[in-house]
Structure 1
Amino acid sequence: MAGLSSDDLFAGSSAGAYQPLAARLRPASLDAFVGQRHLLGPGKPLASALARGQLHSMLFWGPPGVGKTTLARLAAGAADAEFLQLSAVLAGVRDIRSAVDRALAARAGGRDTVLFVDEVHRFNKAQQDAFLPYVEDGTLIFIGATTENPAFELNSALLSRARVYKLRPLAPAELETLLERGLTALPEGLPAAPGVLARIATQADGDGRRALNLLELAADLAAAGDGAPGYLDDTLLDEVLQQSLRRFDKGGDAFYDQISALHKAVRGSAPDAAVYWLCRMLDGGCDPLYIARRVVRMASEDIGNADPRALGLALDAWQVLERLGSPEGELALAQAVLYLAVAPKSNAVYSAFKAAGAAVQAGGSEEVPNHLRNAPTALAKAEGHGSDYRYAHDEPEGYAAGENYFPEALQGLRFYHPVDRGLEQRIAERLARFRSLDAGSARRRYRG
């Protein structure tokens, strides 16, 4: 049956079968579990529930390699429950029904069943709904694991029946603890030079499985060497760490968190942080053209007319990227990001656009005043279109003081409020001059 497995919780493989180091070191008790002290520390609700063997349906949300599957297995073991595992990538409704049948049989024998669904965010609504009634009546104790925000990926009915626990990336010290255990499990306790485990922990980026996989790969290279006994040193580790392994999922939470950090660093006039997040996204494989589009948005939203050159520079960087590609064009993107970060900031354009849009949505289809209408035909002229229109270039200071350009019912509205930074400071001064001319104008008649 695709996707469904049931086994003794922590039994080893058959003799001679290969198991990755991470699988061999899977802890058999909570005492041996590394990390997640915010959930498993003394007095924490999850730790107390597991200690009592009283399970409830739950969702483990967190990045890869932080113990979601292991914690689900430990939970089932603590409650002496049968453990069934489904992969949402492979399983379908048929597999869910088979799991329910096995759970009903176990329940008849007086035993609870934990159904663990890995990558549960990949289940569609029909699949989620298929086991929902059995979660509700207690036939199944549901434990799901997801790397994506469950509020976006799971339906509300399932979320309301499961408590969400957010797991955190493992800290470097926690990863080094795992790696020290891994060293003792390697053949003949392979020695490591000072600092090597810390380097692996840094490269693993919070992922325990990745840390142990890197250690195992390094150990295999050391064992395969000729001459002196194997030894984990920096030279050997350099061969293993040949590519970036930092977290970036090109579309999930990490993606949106990082573009949010880049945008906020630019808005906050923090050039060093801005270029850091730019490099993080590029290092993780983000399409630089996507970043270029977002940088153009930043130029309008957060700088606007305080420095109109920012928009042009952002568009230039986008064009350079399209012409040169990566990595050559990425330098122009960095130039734009740094310029935007140090430019004077104003969200007056963004605020004016939002406010005017809200006014349009809230109002009716106001008529264009006659004096602002076009008059291309004799009939239009006879209707008074364009009559009494004042041509601003013919007025003193090039401004028709007292003229109204709104629908009659909306006269006097103000949406644009320039800030006192950059070019907008001068814009504000000019608008203040125009308002003073309006106030002094004797022309205050209705335009029909």
Structure 2
Amino acid sequence: MFKKILIANRGEIALRVIRTCREMGIKTVAVYSTADAESLHVKFADEAVCIGPAPSNLSYLKMSNIIAAAEITNADAIHPGYGFLSENAKFSKICQEHGIKFIGASPEMIEKMGDKATAKATMKAAGVPCVPGSDGLLESFEQADMLAKEFGYPVMLKATAGGGGKGMRAVWKAEDLLKAWESARQEAGAAFGNDGMYMEKLIEEPRHIEIQVVGDSYGKACHLSERDCSVQRRHQKLTEETPSPFMTDELRQAMGDAAVKAAEFIKYEGAGTVEFLVDKHRNFYFMEMNTRIQVEHPITEQVIDYDLIREQILVAAGVPISGKNYLPQLHSIECRINAEDPYNDFRPSPGKITTLHMPGGHGVRLDTHVYSGYTIPPNYDSMIAKLITTAQTREEAINKMKRALDEFVIEGIKTTIPFHRQLMDEQAYVEGDYTTKFMETFKMNEPKQ
């Protein structure tokens, strides 16, 4: 087992990893930028190393500084969390070269699944259902035009190196294709330095449902059931739940089997997520694989009583998994609390938290790194907390979430707490009748005076 793990991340996920390491008797090293000197992960780790100034490219994304921090503290493993370098094949390879275990996917695995066109070809070979689309990258606009006619509109153009919705365009009719093609390539080139595009048939009334998988170094994988992540804004998830209100037992088994087949086909090692689009007829199609821990992993932990970070560490240390598939025994909902103003188009709201009262009680979990007096820097993702409620039924979990949100007080900045409180009363959400298009018609009520 590892003696010391460096956490190459910040905020709530860094604190989350530190907690499990302490329970396992493993020493921890926090890394931080100058903007994060007062963050809780710095205070709770056994050691802390400043790795640069506030901008991510000079700190959390600067591989040489992170490797140097691991070497001077004698860390024998690095946990990358999510975001930043968690799916960076080059960083995974550098860790290997320096004799430091990367608690995540191998460089080959990240390369195979990180490029969406390659991932889709791999999944087709594994026999996993895929959305009808181009075989690999599009070579020209003329090819895109021909395939769109073949699949039938609507179609979706996607950047192969994409993420966070950049380089994606839905095209509903032929006359709009050229403009979408040019703007998507330009955006992808600027964001990722890669303007490669591929095309898929656009799935109407889709739900975004992902299956959590864990694979070990002996070729065995299992699934831990699904999470419904369909409530999104600009391709960023806002809330997630498990089990999905849209699932049937048959669909859960079919999707779980497909996810395990995918993981075992590529001999996947670690915790990962196989993401699917599910249409209104409950046909499911492979979308992508995330080769890391997900933001929303706590809801899975809550419904099957399972520490996913601990499992990541055990698998990385060579411990075999049981191979058992898990089904949810309870219902769990996660609301991402962001430092954003939901009454002002979700504009970021960094600044100092002047008052903080956290909710508690049975079935309430709060993963956060903030505290009263903490200043949220403007340099990073705006998520500051994850509020999770768990109960016997979906209705009880929603009622518990309403109560917890009413208790949750953050002053000094704007947050998405009012959005989530309204969401929990929205009839379509309460009935489980939502798709990835849900937020296109959602309107915030007037703020309470």
Quickly name the TM-score band, shorter chain normalised: under 0.3
Q: TM-score, normalised by structure 1?
A: 0.23
Q: TM-score, normalised by structure 2?
A: 0.23
- Kindly name which structure, 1 or 2, has the bigger radius of gyration based on alpha carbons: 1
Per residue, is there more helix in 1 or in 2?
Answer: 1
Higher relative contact order (CA 8 A, sep 6+): 2
Per residue, is there more strand in 1 or in 2?
Answer: 2
